[in-house]
Structures are given as structure tokens and as C-alpha cells.
Structure 1
Amino acid sequence: MNDPDFLRIGTEERDQALQALGDHFAKGRLPVAEYDERVSKAVEAETRADLRPLFADLPPPHPAVLVPHPIVPQPQYPMAPMPPNQPAYSPSQRYRLAAGLLQILLPFGIGRFYTGHTGMAVAQLLLSFVGVGVIWCLIDGIILIARGGTDAQGHDLRW
């Protein structure tokens, strides 16, 4: 069974077929009764071969599962050597947990001063007098702890 038409399809492929049928119905290519019949067949389809007759007499768009994708071998390129004077990547000397906790416990942009983002830190500091900066710092601290961040040089913060 090397024929791709007899591969089983899933919910995503059925949804693509239903969307394409809806587009054809919206453009007036299918009457209501025929649209209902094709939709019920698309919902019951188990293989690509079951979907193909539903679109045989319709112009594109067809569901992506029915569009042939030729397999083209990708050329293999050798990896370029790293220049000798280029230092290897190194993570930041700053810690994301420290930056996040500083943002949460001292919500005046202190964590951003720690990471070297002085512009953002000054904005958080000034906005903290209005109250918005405190909320910004709390959310920023949670994000720093959860997802990490970078220091001013663009290096990823350590755990």
C-alpha cells in the first residue's frame, strides 16, 4: 500500500475539506443539497481517496491534503567553520530568578537595572509613581522567571 490516497486522514484533514467545501458553497458553485451531501461524505471520509471525488469537478481551493507535494531532496551544505576570533556563545553572568524576584519584590524596575536594561528600568521607575509601573514590574518579573530573558548584551539569563 504505497499509494498515498489510501493513507488514513484525521480531523485536521476533514476540517480542511469542510472549509474548502464551504468556500465553494459561498461562491455559488454548489447548491444546498449537493453541499450537504458532500459535507456528510467529507465527515465520514477515512482516506484521501474518499475525499478526492468530492473535489474532482471543483476548481481550487482544494484541501492541502489533496494537493500533491513532490518530495525534492534538499542539498546538503557543509557547515561553515566559526571564525577563529569569534568567541563561542556564553550565557549571561546574570540570573533570571534573581532578576524576576527583584522585579516582584522591589517593583520599581530594579530587576531591569540588574539585567542592564536601563531604559526600561527608568520607565518602570517613573511609572511606578503612577501605579502602572508596579503592575508592569510584577508581570515582567513573572515573565522573567517563567520564560527567562536576556541581558543588555543579548545573552540569555542563567537559571
Structure 2
Amino acid sequence: MSEPHQVRIGNQQREAAISALNDHFAAGRLEIGEYEQRVGYATAAETAAELMALFHDLPQPHPQLQPPPQTYYAPPTDYATPPPGYASKGYATPNHGYGPPPGFPPNAPYGLDPLTGQPLSDKSRIAAGVLQLVLPFGIGRFYIGDTGIGVAQLLTCGGCGIWSLIDGIILLVNGGTDSQGRKLRD
């Protein structure tokens, strides 16, 4: 390792030096011009030695320059499980190479319905409802895989907009199921 005074410093050490210079200026040990010059040097300092040179002719207080902490992060050893919290945030999909979170069956990467215990869909009820309301031609139904109702709404222009409007509200409030019969997730 390099010499302790040749280690690069950070903003915290520069601020400590400026604070000590403020104390010396307030005590009348430094004139205004010399104080400004030393603060400029402290701001531009890159090593502990450069900061300590600013205090060679001054009594205490001197800044306490602690070496930066040496942190070591061990590389992960188990690549089959996700990092903590990764799966619970909805990222546990087969595309990411991680399995479902512990306690979930492999066929339920988006969780289980708390009432029925059935796997949740990868489709969102909010997205389906908003698509139904904004694009009233069965687009929300196409999104969840219900192509039969989607085609019917497309051919009737969403029942002149009324059918799509009601269907969108129902999807937003109650949800529904996708083409595989799984409940839409929130």
C-alpha cells in the first residue's frame, strides 16, 4: 500500500481542513488574504500531505485525516439464486435466469392469488383496463389474450364505445383472467 499521506483524499477531508482553517481565522492567526489562499489550496488538495502542509505553522486544531475505509465485496458464489429482494420485486422471470422466489412453485413466477392459491398472470389488470378505456376497440382484451371478445369489440367498434368503456371499468375494478385462466395481477 502507498504511504498514508500520499493517499488521495475526498470532500470530507477537505471540509475538515477548511473547518480547522475557519477556527484559526476566527482566532486571529490568519489574515483574510492568507485564509482565502489556504482555503483555495485545501479545496484543490488531492492528498493528505497537501492538506497537512497548510497547517505546518499553525497550532491545534488540525484536521483529523482518517484513511478511507477499505471495503471488500465478495463476489457471489451461487449464481442459481437471485440476490436478496430481487425476486420479490417482480424480476424473477425465466428470462433473467433466476427461478421463482423461495416458497413459490416454478409455474408461478408472479406469485399466487392469496384467496385461491392459483398462479397469477404475467398480465396486469390495470394495463388491460386502461387499454380498454383509451383504445376502445378491444385492445385490452387482445393484451390479456382473450382474442374472441377482442375481435367482437373490434368489429363492433367496441359496441359504439359503450361496451369497451364498461369492459375497461370492470377490468380495472375487478380484474379478470388471462387466456390461460390465471387471475390478472395488480
Structure 1 length as normaliser, TM-score? 0.43
The higher-RCO structure (CA 8 Å, 6+ apart) is: 1
Larger gyration radius, structure 1 or structure 2: 2
Higher strand share: 2
Higher helix share: 1
